[in-house]
A and B are shown apart, each in its own frame.
Chain A
Amino acid sequence: MPHFATKHFGTIDFQPEAALEFPHGLPGFEQETRFVALEQPGTKPLVFLQSLSRPELCFITMPVQVVDPGYRLTVSEEDLQCLELAEDRQPEIGTEVLCLAIVSVAEQRGPTANLVAPVVVNLRTRRAVQAIAPGSRYSAQHPVPGTTAEEPCS
């Protein structure tokens, strides 16, 4: 079984088919094309997106529906093509794609999730892309529920 020495999780073993392939990397990390999604019992529902080429590169993410249960995908045609998915409709989260929002933890503001540019993974082929939906009503800094970033309910 292939393995990789990570900074935060030690050496991890993974099934080859669990490796996620980002043909264009991610914006800001265009050279990083292979990642693995890790879950740990003590930190669910967080999903760690660990690079398979840089030991220290790991994004904290959450399934978009944990951040916003009513989340609607708006993946562009180009991104659907890149994902090897049908271009005439949005894919279904959970059955066709895994959809993760990258979380930023800023001291002043508390944790926020990027809902305007989710990481979308084709569950069948493991192709992945960070699908940016400009003009969508979602925020790149959506407060994570339950944390200090969230506005108190009035």
Chain B
Amino acid sequence: MLVIRRRAGESILLGESIEIQVTEIGPSRVKLGITAPPEVVILRKEIKLTREQNQAAAQGVAMDRAAELAAQVARARRSGAAHAGDRATPRPANPLA
């Protein structure tokens, strides 16, 4: 990774057609201005990762395995509660009603 220091107002050029300018520096974050041709996709990194996760989740929906998955989770919760000697957590009023 190339690490460069910039002050507010200074820019970085990527290739022939992309410019990133540090427009403002705040106590905990910086504001960046990005100039790029329309075909260059600009995404905050965490959005890209979440997008990929969601697309994988939506595609791989194995609804026929949902019952099996639910049973495994329910079993793990019951056995977890037994080992810990806890009472089952009281369920809140169904917020989905």
Residues of A within 8 A of B (CB): 8, 18, 26-29, 37-39, 42-48, 57-60, 62, 66, 69, 94-95, 98, 102-106, 111, 114, 116-117, 123, 130, 132, 134, 140-141, 144-147
Contact = CB atoms under 8 A, between A and B. Distances in A.
B61 A132 contact: no
15 contacts: A28-B52, A28-B58, A43-B67, A43-B70, A45-B77, A46-B66, A58-B63, A59-B61, A69-B89, A94-B92, A105-B61, A117-B46, A117-B53, A132-B46, A146-B75
B66 A60 contact: yes
Given A98-B95, A123-B95, A46 B70 contact: yes
A43 B70 CA distance: 5
B41 interface: no
A144 to B, nearest CB: 6
Interface in B40-80: 45-58, 60-63, 65-67, 69-70, 72-77, 80
Contacts of B57: 59-60, 102-104, 114
A134 B46 contact: yes
A95 B53 contact: no
B1 to A, nearest CB: 17
B37 to A, nearest CB: 21
B53 A146 contact: no
A145 B55 contact: no
B96 to A, nearest CB: 5
Contacts of A116: 46
Contact of B73 (A57, A132, A147): A147
Given A42-B70, A95-B92, A105 B51 contact: no
A116 B49 CA distance: 10
B77 A145 contact: yes
Contacts of A95: 92
A134 to B, nearest CB: 4
Contacts of A43: 66-67, 69-70
Nearest to B72: A146
A12 B54 CA distance: 23
Given A28-B50, A140-B50, 8 more contacts: A8-B61, A8-B63, A28-B58, A43-B67, A46-B70, A114-B57, A117-B46, A141-B53
